[in-house]
Amino acid sequence: MKFIVSSAALLKELQMLGGVINSTNTLPILDNFLFEINGNTLTLTASDLETTFSTKIAVESESNSMIALPARLLLDTLKTFPEQPLTFLKTEKNTVEISANNGKYAVAYVEGEEFPKAAQITDAKTTQISGNVLHTAINSTLFASGNDDLRPVMSGVFFQFSSESLTFVATDAHKLVKYTRTDLNASESAEFIMPKKPLQLLKGILHGMEEEISIEYSETNAQFRFGDSTLTCRLIDGKYPNYEAVIPKENPNQMQVNRTSFLNSVRRVSIFSNKTTFQIRLKIAGAALQISAEDFDYSNSAEERLDCDYQGDDITIGFNSRFLIEMLNGLECDEVKLSMSLPNRAGLLTPLDHTEEGEHITMLVMPVMLNN
């Protein structure tokens, strides 16, 4: 086996795949990248059994061969090279010799046949979606998913496709985000829960990508195809909670405020909040919003006032400042609307601008009980 490849091109693809590899693997072979040479095409694969990511790259070669090479060692070495052609040659000493402009490096390899194969998707349904839209959907929802091992269904993002719209939902029971595109649809209805890790990988790769992504999904697996890359993952098994039931429909108290000013105020005031509850208090009356926090243990307190546009009865409501900050950070609008009914009912955050036609974002945050 022998092939010649650009060092920069190889590093770029391996860095993209590297996110799949766990720091501790059950099978030693999963610490490797699979190199599959077929004529002038090199297919690179990384897997952790749950998620398998592969991509193709052009090389100069005339051989057909399959070997696995240590991931960490390759990445650390390639990062130090300036752009140059590298020659990979399999030797009789059970090593692969990598020849660069000014040096040679021998790396032990494992036979590629031992590398686990990606799951085959049978009876798949397919939906096309642009890379940018999928990136926005993941970026808007992923932060709201939970980390509770006892409730695995809430640790992922719920994909709900129908002939009318595509909806993406994430919740951890304290906050919930629903991202809907009514300008896009699927040929037939489907629901599945995507785990966090493959979505983290896609979020990093899809930013600014215009091309169409093909999503294939069955009862147990999903596959994302874009360019020369394919990401296959096992879906989270279980039924997603009825999220519509927790979104309050009647919210007579509505406040409009500048998102950046609101976010910066909440950030500053929260520094003075209790370090266990992160509780801040919003008191809205007339056209004034008062944001305050206090930490009785250390006698710290802070209070700020903001101008806002408010319709409704005067209200005082408490929130966990970390959740509010995450949500306001996740929006890209200038003006934001906070809709409320009662101090013990969830508040709804929605953007008032910078959304595309057919794009709807609803963020729900549960209140915290105020101790007067």
Per-domain residue ranges for the chain? Answer: 2-114, 125-245, 247-368
Distance CA 117, CA 160 (A): 28
The pLDDT assigned to 349 comes to: 97
Identify the CATH number of the domain defined by range 125-245. 3.10.150.10
Distance CA 178, CA 245 (A): 13
Q: What average pLDDT does range 320-328 have in this prediction? A: 97
Which CATH superfamily, name and number, covers 247-368? DNA Polymerase III, subunit A, domain 2 (3.10.150.10)
The DSSP string of 328-353 is HHH---SEEEEEES-TTS-EEEEESS
Q: What average pLDDT does range 194-204 have in this prediction? A: 96
For the chain, the distance separating the N- and C-terminal CA atoms, rounded to the nearest angstrom, is 74
370 has a pLDDT exceeding 90: no
250 has a pLDDT exceeding 90: yes
104 has a pLDDT exceeding 90: yes
Secondary structure class of 85 (helix, strand, coil)? strand
243 forms beta bridges with none
Percent of the chain with pLDDT over 70: 100
Residues 6+ apart with CB under 8 A from 54: 17, 34, 43, 44, 45, 46, 118, 229, 230
pLDDT tens track for 297-310: 999 999 999 999 99
On the question of a common fold for 2-114 and 247-368, the answer reads: yes
Q: Look at the block and give the residue holding tokens 């719209």.
A: 165
322 has a pLDDT exceeding 90: yes
Q: What average pLDDT does range 189-211 have in this prediction? A: 95
Look at 94-98, 205-209, 218-222, 316-320 and tell me which has the smallest mean pLDDT: 205-209
pLDDT tens track for 201-233: 999 999 989 999 999 999 999 999 999 999 999
pLDDT tens track for 262-294: 999 999 999 999 999 999 999 999 999 999 999
Q: Are 318 and 368 in contact (CB under 8 A)?
A: yes
The pLDDT assigned to 372 comes to: 61
Q: Are 67 and 35 in contact (CB under 8 A)?
A: yes
User: How confident is the prediction for the chain on average, in pLDDT?
Assistant: 95
Architecture of domain 2-114: Roll (3.10)
Q: Look at the block and give the residue holding tokens 């037939």.
A: 188
The pLDDT assigned to 138 comes to: 97
The pLDDT assigned to 327 comes to: 96
Q: What average pLDDT does range 302-328 have in this prediction? A: 97
229 forms beta bridges with 55, 226
What's the per-residue H, E or C state across 131-200?
HHHHHHHHHHHHHHCCCCCCCHHHHCEEEEECCCCEEEEEECCCEEEEEEECCCCCCCCEEEEECHHHHH
User: Which amino acid, one-letter code, is at 284?
Assistant: I
The pLDDT assigned to 305 comes to: 98
> What pTM value is reported for the model?
0.93
pLDDT tens track for 105-160: 999 999 999 999 999 998 899 999 999 999 999 999 999 999 998 999 999 999 99
Percent of the chain with pLDDT over 90: 94
Q: Look at the block and give the residue holding tokens 């006032």.
A: 305
Residues 6+ apart with CB under 8 A from 246: 176, 346, 364
Among 367, 370, 349, CA closest to 293: 370
Distance CA 193, CA 170 (A): 10
